[in-house]
Structure 1
Amino acid sequence: MSKLPLDVISDIFLRLPVKTLVRFKCLSKPCCAVIDDRDFIRLHLYRSKKTKSNLGLILKALNLYTVDFDTLDTAVSIDHPFSFACGTEAFGSCNGLIALRNSEKCLALFNPSTKKLRKLPVSTIELPNDSSKSGYVFYGFGQDVISNDYKVVRMVQFYRIENDEEGSFFDYEVKVYSLNNNSWKKISNLPCYLRFLFLFFYHLLHRRGYGVLVSGVLHWVLPPRSETSGRNMIVGFDLGTEEFLQVPQAENTDENFLLDVGVLDGCLCMICNYNQFSVDILVMKEYGLKESWTWLLSVQKTTPADAVKFLRPLAYSKNLTKVLLEMDSQKLVWYDLEKKRMRTVKIDGAPDTFSAEIFVGSLIPLDDRDEKSKKQEEQGENNNTGGKQRDDFLSEGFRLVL
């Protein structure tokens, strides 16, 4: 190692799995410095996405599990310091970070590869008046690629304290947490249609409250209501501009379906469920372009007793001939795009019911800023007094440049 240039070592490290790199940080200070370098972390994540390596699945149930995507054989429980007796919800993942929730006042970001966790500061819910109460809460998590920031979105729906049978909800409170600033920001000038976002059976039955991240935008479905002309609507929140938008839908679909959204290989998906008899999945090849909606596959119930209750695409196979699907929150299946056949995937240790999400391992840091600044100050003092000891420790061919 001492005879290899740093750029060669860095190039080798870029090809290694995340778990191996975490162990290698203990080899020496030079190895640790290479692996902790911000540019190296960015390049390693970029390579993982490009080569589709370091991929896994998160199985979300009462507990959280990870499954290696290449094998899909065994579910391993995620051990994290944020675990809660009644279960911890994972409401999103992005670039190796998972957003966790125990309650509206207890949120955190966690990197299962590095075991680092950042608790979010508490942001109180501000009721619009004394006659209202907070109700259903929508969440979303993703990256703002413009500012290279990670953000959590919380949308709280309000309703009257007395019975509100017609569902005439007050405007939402929308707040955004910034990891870079470690603070919450309230969003104003909300669109009028947002007050009709929640529909009891639609969201509670299928847990559609978590935003789907595509192209730096979080997406939710506004279910058909008389106030919105009886049509489904895809609502987006741009993490860069922090504004809401409407996503154009495909026109060549029957309007009589229950809509859900998903993501497949970075593309937004429309999941159209026709009365639990069949499900069509369409993919938006170019984000925001209505004409780019493309039909992908259709799944129909096989017997009169069966029903396709829930379906979500997760990932393509390595050779792009199959799609991994989550069905009815109970199992995973490979769908062969050519033969139009399905094969069930058996995973040891998986919970009976779960929600699945694709995950890429990364070294994205979640260090506390105050603690990090303190360590840098201490390191600076040590460098001033112990420079010779450091140089003696490092070999001539593998010396850190500070």
Structure 2
Amino acid sequence: MSRFPLDVLIDTFYLLPVKTLLRFRALSKSFCSLIDGPDFVKHHLEHSLSTKSHLILILKGLHLYTVDLDSLDKAIPFSEYPESIWGGTEVFGSCNGLLALSNSDQDFLLFNPSTRKLFKLPVEIIEVPNDSCIRGFVFSGFGYDHVNDDYKVVRMVRFKQDEDDNIGWFSEYEVKVFSLKTNSWSRIKKLPNYLRFMFQFYFHLMHRRGYGVYACGVLHWVLPRRPELGVGNLIVAFDLVDEEFRVLPQPDYGDNEKDFVLDVGVLEGRLCVICNYNQVKVDVWVMKEYGVKESWSKLFSIERSRSISSFRFLKPLAYSKGCGDGDGRDKILLDVNGEKLVWYDWKRKRLKTVRIKGAPDSFGTFLCVESLIPLIDEKKQQRQEKKRNHNRKKRDDFLSKGFKLVL
């Protein structure tokens, strides 16, 4: 291999899947150092994202399954589960090859399915504001802070006065953010008043709508329309860099604004809104330039058919591979009702059901890119372990010299 120029070798390695690269680490110390290096990890991820390669679907049923996005032929259950992942574990986010998992409102984990590395977040107790409050719904989200090169988990806990308090007048919120870089939680103190109206019973308990949608360094949730309070649909955004809330501008829907249920999604890194008209018709809009209201464009509309009797839930996942940019992309993969995947050709208005062997009957879907992103700084961990061993040796030497037995 020494006969190959290093730049050619590195460029070739960028094309390889993670599974192959992990095997190559065992070939030599130089290969191991190269593949584990932060620059290689970063550029391998960037190459995969830019070329839309090494993409997999994560299906969450009773267990976790992976499906190759290029073939979509077989669902492979995870083997050799880490002890912390079990049947009740939920997936609430995916970013740069990492999955955010939860076993409970206080038990969170980050998992790289390609390297099988797992990181358990320190437990952060939910602090009830006062004795008259009880804990209500919990929102969660996961994403990447590109400015500080940090991965963050957001947990929003809604409190209410009693079990029947679902209107929101007296609701309080606790919002905390976990930073992987510092391995610590911090509390967000500046909270907008509209948060108290975010929860609506049926909207958020169905189809995992409490999970934030990550796009462009920001997490997004929907504050559903509350006609009895005079509150319209809002897209609530939490910037992972500034760690502040704001309301995102929406498309001009025209006269139909009050006739649909709003949801949010992401398609190739761009934020989408999904307008569901009484489970009969769905409009999907995409924001081409983040934060710019005028950049919203209606991507397609889809109506129920013989194969799909109703749209309780619809989630855009990916464009078909090999399509060109912009309007040349004529097929899109959709998760319909958490029960089936379909390719939708919006130019011909045709649906084609994707049949995946071994897939569960119902599932949540998350698009994931294979990556080498580490969950801990292994060199830092080695230095800390070396320091601990050194201090332990000094202590043992002191004890052995200072407390000699006299016979």
TM (norm. structure 2) is 0.89
Residue 44 of structure 1 aligns with an amino acid whose one-letter code is H
Helix, strand or coil: the match of 1:350? Answer: coil
* 1:262 to 2:261 alignment: no
Residue 282 of structure 1 aligns with an amino acid whose one-letter code is W
Cα deviation, residue 375, structure 1 = 5.9
* 1:357 to 2:358 alignment: no
Residue 125 of structure 1 aligns with an amino acid whose one-letter code is I
* 1:285 to 2:319 alignment: no
The residue number in structure 1 matching 2:301 is: 298
The 5 A counterparts of 1:128-277 are: 128-161=129-162, 163-164=164-165, 166-226=167-227, 229-253=230-254, 254-255=256-257, 256-277=259-280
* 1:341 to 2:354 alignment: no
Cα deviation, residue 60, structure 1 = 1.6
CA contact (8 A) 1:159 1:168 kept: no
The residue number in structure 1 matching 2:58 is: 58
TM (norm. structure 1) is 0.90
Question: Which is worse superposed, 173-182 or 368-377?
Answer: 368-377
CA contact (8 A) 1:212 1:218 kept: yes
CA contact (8 A) 1:96 1:361 kept: yes
Q: Distance in 2 between matches of 1:321 and 1:178?
A: 39
The residue number in structure 2 matching 1:389 is: none
Could you give the per-residue CA deviations for residues 267-308 of structure 1, whole angstroms, max 9, x where no partner exists? 111100001111111111111111111111111122599222
The residue number in structure 2 matching 1:386 is: none
Q: Distance in 2 between matches of 1:93 and 1:200?
A: 25
* 1:371 to 2:381 alignment: yes
CA contact (8 A) 2:222 2:234 kept: yes
Residue 335 of structure 1 aligns with an amino acid whose one-letter code is Y
Cα deviation, residue 191, structure 1 = 0.2
Cα deviation, residue 337, structure 1 = 2.6
Residue 201 of structure 1 aligns with an amino acid whose one-letter code is Y
Residue 14 of structure 1 aligns with an amino acid whose one-letter code is Y
Cα deviation, residue 226, structure 1 = 3.9
Q: Distance in 2 between matches of 1:277 and 1:59?
A: 25
Cα deviation, residue 56, structure 1 = 0.8
Q: Distance in 1 between matches of 2:214 and 2:229?
A: 24
Cα deviation, residue 87, structure 1 = 1.7
Q: Distance in 2 between matches of 1:234 and 1:167?
A: 17
Q: Distance in 1 between matches of 2:366 and 2:175?
A: 25
Q: Distance in 1 between matches of 2:308 and 2:187?
A: 48
Helix, strand or coil: the match of 2:210? Answer: coil
Q: Distance in 2 between matches of 1:170 and 1:277?
A: 34
Helix, strand or coil: the match of 2:148? Answer: coil
Q: Distance in 2 between matches of 1:202 and 1:140?
A: 17
The RMSD of aligned alpha carbons is 2.1
Could you give the per-residue CA deviations for residues 139-189 of structure 1, whole angstroms, max 9, x where no partner exists? 000000111100000000001146425443422100000000000000011
Could you give the per-residue CA deviations for residues 94-146 of structure 1, whole angstroms, max 9, x where no partner exists? 00000111012211111111111111001111111001111111000000011
Helix, strand or coil: the match of 1:313? Answer: strand
User: Which runs of no fewer than 5 residues in structure 1 stay unpaired?
Assistant: 381-402
* 1:93 to 2:94 alignment: yes
Q: Distance in 2 between matches of 1:366 and 1:304?
A: 42
Helix, strand or coil: the match of 1:235? Answer: strand
Helix, strand or coil: the match of 1:151? Answer: strand
Q: Distance in 1 between matches of 2:77 and 2:338?
A: 18
The residue number in structure 2 matching 1:10 is: 10
User: Which runs of no fewer than 5 residues in structure 2 stay unpaired?
Assistant: 324-328, 391-407
Against the structure 1 CA distance between its residues 341 and 122, is the aligned structure 2 distance closer, same or farther, given a 3 Å change threshold?
Answer: same
* 1:313 to 2:316 alignment: yes
Residue 340 of structure 1 aligns with an amino acid whose one-letter code is K
Residue 215 of structure 1 aligns with an amino acid whose one-letter code is C
Cα deviation, residue 11, structure 1 = 1.9
Q: Distance in 2 between matches of 1:102 and 1:126?
A: 19
Identity of aligned residues (%): 56
Helix, strand or coil: the match of 2:279? Answer: coil
CA contact (8 A) 2:109 2:120 kept: yes
CA contact (8 A) 1:235 1:246 kept: yes
Against the structure 1 CA distance between its residues 30 and 377, is the aligned structure 2 distance closer, same or farther, given a 3 Å change threshold?
Answer: farther
Residue 372 of structure 1 aligns with an amino acid whose one-letter code is Q
Task: Report the number of matched residues.
Answer: 380
Cα deviation, residue 373, structure 1 = 2.4
Against the structure 1 CA distance between its residues 227 and 215, is the aligned structure 2 distance closer, same or farther, given a 3 Å change threshold?
Answer: farther
Cα deviation, residue 18, structure 1 = 1.1
The residue number in structure 1 matching 2:115 is: 114
CA contact (8 A) 1:193 1:228 kept: no
Against the structure 1 CA distance between its residues 371 and 43, is the aligned structure 2 distance closer, same or farther, given a 3 Å change threshold?
Answer: same
Cα deviation, residue 331, structure 1 = 0.3
Could you give the per-residue CA deviations for residues 320-346 of structure 1, whole angstroms, max 9, x where no partner exists? 221000001100000113211110000
Q: Distance in 2 between matches of 1:317 and 1:303?
A: 23
The residue number in structure 1 matching 2:398 is: none
Alignment match of 1:326 (pick from 332, 335, 350) = 335
Residue 272 of structure 1 aligns with an amino acid whose one-letter code is C
Cα deviation, residue 84, structure 1 = 4.6
CA contact (8 A) 2:63 2:87 kept: no
